[in-house]
């Protein structure tokens, strides 16, 4: 049985300017131990879709307009708040961006890691303090016995992020959700954290949802890649398939905006552990959509050089892509491989990068 089953999750924000269609009909399964990379530009609905599952969107203006989120068979969307609170941090660990604001500046690292454990009644205070040292060691913080007594400001950015990871995995969750967890770090430290995560997911055999706007980050980490835009899943499948047999024009645009991308190389070159340079990026032309009362159709259509008239009329369903790997899904009325073959001017690589 899947660990997590997201079924038709739909989230709206009712604002003075109209209804924001933040997440629309998001559906997927996550298996135990699977790492899912969720990718998309800012405003795609990546954060809101996980915050909604965890009962963490502000209501109002937010509301769950439909769907189910089954975690080990229980619907998180109808779970009493008390049970949801116990699940968060225990069976579902979380790591967010900006550990400086997430860590409490007036408490030692030890107090904060221990608190993550004792708040769920899993251990005594003294046992939790001993465990805190083990956890700092696990996440690669040197001299953990000494470091555990320090305050967050005595840690570097990378070390603070490691401490946040220690808190996220303190209760050995079944699922770890990381939202832009390495975005604030420089590329070298980011690569180290990604290496750590690969190591941890093996040691702790936990499933992960790794959210990032950076395609390069998920390449070496994720088993499955899910590309979101306008609150919808545009493409989803085994990482290799999504990178090397891309079917959504949006994914294709994201991949082209990666530095030194050429066909088939992204997957090999952008692995964690290799710091990479960030030369000038080739952006996708046009701006991300305003999701307030959006027009019908595929939200990416106005920016899509391969859009056909149907794209402006109706959102295509997310279905198995033709002649693609099993489980490689795409939401597109156009056929990207054919469209690219017909437009060698656009398919050309290297220009602008
Ligand atoms: N509290 C809120 N009130 C109104 N709109 C919101 C709120 N939080 C998020 N949104 C909107 O929901 C959409 C999805 O946001 P988000 O999930 O944060 O995007 P991402 O994480 O992909 O950058 C955006 O259009 C955003 O403006
Ligand atoms: Mg976000």
The ligand that comes nearest to the alpha carbon of residue 51 is 1
The mean pLDDT value for 74-97 works out to 93
For residue 281, pLDDT beyond 60: no
Proportion of the chain above pLDDT 70, given as a percent: 90
Yes or no: say if 194 and 220 are a contact pair by the CB < 8 Å rule: yes
Alpha-carbon torsion (304, 307, 309, 313), positive or negative = negative
Write out the CATH class of domain 4-91+173-347.
alpha beta
The ligand that comes nearest to the alpha carbon of residue 50 is 1
Q: Is the peptide bond before 119 cis (omega within 30 degrees of 0)?
A: no
Please state the atom number of ligand 1 nearest to the C-alpha of residue 290: 25
For residue 264, pLDDT beyond 60: no
Residue 41: Cβ within 10 Å count = 19
Whose C-alpha lies nearest to ligand 1, atom 17?
45
Ligand 2 (single-atom ion) residues, CB below 5 Å = 47
Domain assignments of the chain as residue spans, ordered by start: 4-91+173-347, 92-172
The mean pLDDT value for 302-306 works out to 95
The mean pLDDT value for 171-191 works out to 91
Q: Give residue 260's pLDDT.
A: 53
Proportion of the chain above pLDDT 90, given as a percent: 78
For residue 353, pLDDT beyond 80: no
The mean pLDDT value for 19-35 works out to 97
For residue 121, pLDDT beyond 70: yes
Q: Give residue 348's pLDDT.
A: 58
Yes or no: say if 225 and 237 are a contact pair by the CB < 8 Å rule: yes
Residue 11 CA, ligand 1 centroid: distance in Å: 10
Give 219-230 pLDDT, tens digit per residue: 889 999 999 999
Mean pLDDT of the chain: 90
Q: Which two tokens stand for residue 47?
A: 């954060």
Cα torsion 158, 107, 52, 317 to 10°: value is 10
The ligand that comes nearest to the alpha carbon of residue 229 is 1
Cα torsion 90, 95, 96, 99 to 10°: value is 110
User: Sorting pLDDT into bands at 50, 70 and 90, what band is 265?
Assistant: very low
Give 149-162 pLDDT, tens digit per residue: 999 999 998 999 99
Ligand 1 interacting residues, C-beta cut-off 6 A: 13, 15, 20, 22, 40, 42-48, 58, 61-62, 291
Please state the atom number of ligand 1 nearest to the C-alpha of residue 291: 25
Residues 6+ apart with CB under 8 A from 192: 140, 158, 273
């Amino acid at each position: 049985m899947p660990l997590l089953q997201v079924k038709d999750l739909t989230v709206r924000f009712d604002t003075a300017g109209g209804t924001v269609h933040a997440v629309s009909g998001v559906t997927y399964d996550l298996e135990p131990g699977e790492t899912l990379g969720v990718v998309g530009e800012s405003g795609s609905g990546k954060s809101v879709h996980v915050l909604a599952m965890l009962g963490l969107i502000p209501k109002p203006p937010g509301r769950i307009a439909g769907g189910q989120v089954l975690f080990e068979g229980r619907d998180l969307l109808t779970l009493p708040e008390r049970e949801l609170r116990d699940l968060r941090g225990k069976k579902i660990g979380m790591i967010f961006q900006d550990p400086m604001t997430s860590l409490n500046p007036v408490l030692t690292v030890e107090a904060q890691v221990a608190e993550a454990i004792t708040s769920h009644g899993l251990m005594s205070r003294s046992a939790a303090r001993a465990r805190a040292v083990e956890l700092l060691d696990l996440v690669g913080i040197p001299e953990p016995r000494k470091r555990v007594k320090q305050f967050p400001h005595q840690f570097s950015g990378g070390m603070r992020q490691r401490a946040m990871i220690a808190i996220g995995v303190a209760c050995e969750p079944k699922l770890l959700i990381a939202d832009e967890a390495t975005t604030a770090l420089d590329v070298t430290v980011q690569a180290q954290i990604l290496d750590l995560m690969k190591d941890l997911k093996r040691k702790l055999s936990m499933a992960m949802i790794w959210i990032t706007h950076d395609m390069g980050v998920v390449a070496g980490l994720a088993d499955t890649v899910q590309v979101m835009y306008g609150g919808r899943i545009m493409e989803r499948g085994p990482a290799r398939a999504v990178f090397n047999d891309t079917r959504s024009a949006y994914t294709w645009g994201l991949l082209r905006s990666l530095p030194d991308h050429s066909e088939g190389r992204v997957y090999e070159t952008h692995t964690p552990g290799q710091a990479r340079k960030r030369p000038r990026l080739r952006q996708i032309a046009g701006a991300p959509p305003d999701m307030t009362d959006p027009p019908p159709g595929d939200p990416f259509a106005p920016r899509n050089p391969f859009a056909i008239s149907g794209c402006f009329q109706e959102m295509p369903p997310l279905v198995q892509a033709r002649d693609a790997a099993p489980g490689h899904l795409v939401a597109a009325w156009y056929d990207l491989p054919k469209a690219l073959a017909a437009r060698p001017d656009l398919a050309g690589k290297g220009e602008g990068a």
